[in-house]
């Protein structure tokens, strides 16, 4: 017979079924990241750094739960259910907290699970006069859908007019992506990748290859909360977000820069972390963001330019590119040991100066990092010399 769970019960003693129930609440919207960055060592230092979080994140691709693995790992420190519940309540995970210790959650708090089912009245976009057969997954129990008559006034009003863009219905996109096939391209599926806002699928439209981005559902967030969230979303500067035009002019894409406004000179706290952890500033992992968070990410990009190496590689030492800064500061190596030899006409002085800029951008303390105007000035001095 199972012993009752109390505040003094060790987390490592919880049964697997209960831990999986907890993960059902915490895995959606990457809630486990909030917990991971809040867990401390007895010394007060963070228990999990960027590399640890990256490892937990990689478990998703193998079908494992980051929350389960996090609790398994943390449990080895003899943390208790009381410690876990305190952490859950602090981060507003009231439903899983009440699952462990019902009396620990204030009665006034709504503990409905985040996966609540919402029934909404749906309107479907017309298929532009072309009949299609609904593609239904073997695992899906939905009924066959008959496309609406596009001549019906109700649906004609949904068509987009006076635009250069072609509008697709959900069912058209479902068709061209083979029912949003979740299998990766390498095994014949359509999934190209995923990010903080959703999953990207490969599709074919008029014999052309297209990328279809399916946004992640956030049914537990009100419209007003969602609007506010976009002023507080953490995104990161990463090389994949920097595009070059025909003149090799850099263009920033696909992420929210720290807002160039007076209010964003100050710190903002957010509960949703979106982005690539290998580029994230330490404070960004805790949900604290300023314009200096982008400066840190840009420092990683500068290291990528100097070295020609990716920001993270689990088959390399160090696995995180930003860790070469520690090796250089400890005089174990120099920046010359990491220079990308594919570069022609290397100027050692320019490389040293560029690394100095990157090092300043990667300062652990955000207030010690330069602002973007200073970074621009330093880089322009390199090109002028």
96: three-class secondary structure by DSSP? helix
* Distance separating alpha carbons of residues 204 and 207, to the nearest angstrom: 6
| Inter-residue contact 54 to 276 (CB < 8 Å) | no
Distances in Å between the Cα of 188 and the Cα atoms of 44, 145, 146 are: 47, 26, 28
Query: Annotated binding residue at 64?
Result: no
Q: Which residues lie across from 201 on neighbouring strands?
A: 191, 212
* Distance separating alpha carbons of residues 185 and 189, to the nearest angstrom: 5
| Inter-residue contact 99 to 22 (CB < 8 Å) | yes
Place of tokens 């995104």: 235
DSSP 227-293: HHHTTT-B----GGGEEE-TT--EEE-SS-PPPSSSGGGS-EE-S-B-S-GGG--HHHHTTEE-HHH
165: three-class secondary structure by DSSP? coil
* Distance separating alpha carbons of residues 105 and 78, to the nearest angstrom: 23
Cite the annotated binding site for ATP by residue number.
213
Cite the annotated binding site by residue number.
213
């Amino acid at each position: 017979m199972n012993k009752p769970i109390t505040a003094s019960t060790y987390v490592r003693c919880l049964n697997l079924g209960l831990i999986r129930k907890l993960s059902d609440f915490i895995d959606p919207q990457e809630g486990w990241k909030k917990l991971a960055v809040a867990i401390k060592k007895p010394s007060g230092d963070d228990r999990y750094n960027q590399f640890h979080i990256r490892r937990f994140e990689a478990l998703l691709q193998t079908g494992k739960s980051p929350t389960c693995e996090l609790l398994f790992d943390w449990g080895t420190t003899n943390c208790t259910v009381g410690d876990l519940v305190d952490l859950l309540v602090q981060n507003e995970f009231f439903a899983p907290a009440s699952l462990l210790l019902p009396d620990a959650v204030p009665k006034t708090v709504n503990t409905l699970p985040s996966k609540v089912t919402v029934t909404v009245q749906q309107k479907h976009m017309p298929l532009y006069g072309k009949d299609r057969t609904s593609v239904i997954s073997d695992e899906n129990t939905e009924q066959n859908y008959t496309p609406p008559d596009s001549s019906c006034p109700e649906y004609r009003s949904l068509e987009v007019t006076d635009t250069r863009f072609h509008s697709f219905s959900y069912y058209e996109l479902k068709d061209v992506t083979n029912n949003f096939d979740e299998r990766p391209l390498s095994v014949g599926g359509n999934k190209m990748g995923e990010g903080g806002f959703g999953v990207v699928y490969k599709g074919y439209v008029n014999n052309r290859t297209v990328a279809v981005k399916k946004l992640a559902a956030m049914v537990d967030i009100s419209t007003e909360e969602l609007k506010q969230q976009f002023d507080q979303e953490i995104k990161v500067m990463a090389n994949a977000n920097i595009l070059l035009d025909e003149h090799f002019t850099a263009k920033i894409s696909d992420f929210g820069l720290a807002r160039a406004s007076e209010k964003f000179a100050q710190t903002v706290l957010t509960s949703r972390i979106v982005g690539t952890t290998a580029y994230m500033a330490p404070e960004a992992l805790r949900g604290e963001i300023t314009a200096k968070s982008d400066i840190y990410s840009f420092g990683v990009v500068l290291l990528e330019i100097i070295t020609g190496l990716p920001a993270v590689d689990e088959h390399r030492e160090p696995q995180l590119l930003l860790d070469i800064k520690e090796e250089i500061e400890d005089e174990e190596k120099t920046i010359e040991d990491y220079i990308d030899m594919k570069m022609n006409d290397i100027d050692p002085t320019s490389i040293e100066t560029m690394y100095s800029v990157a090092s300043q951008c990667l300062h652990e303390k955000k207030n010690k990092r330069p602002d973007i105007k200073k970074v621009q000035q330093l880089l322009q001095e390199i090109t002028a010399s």
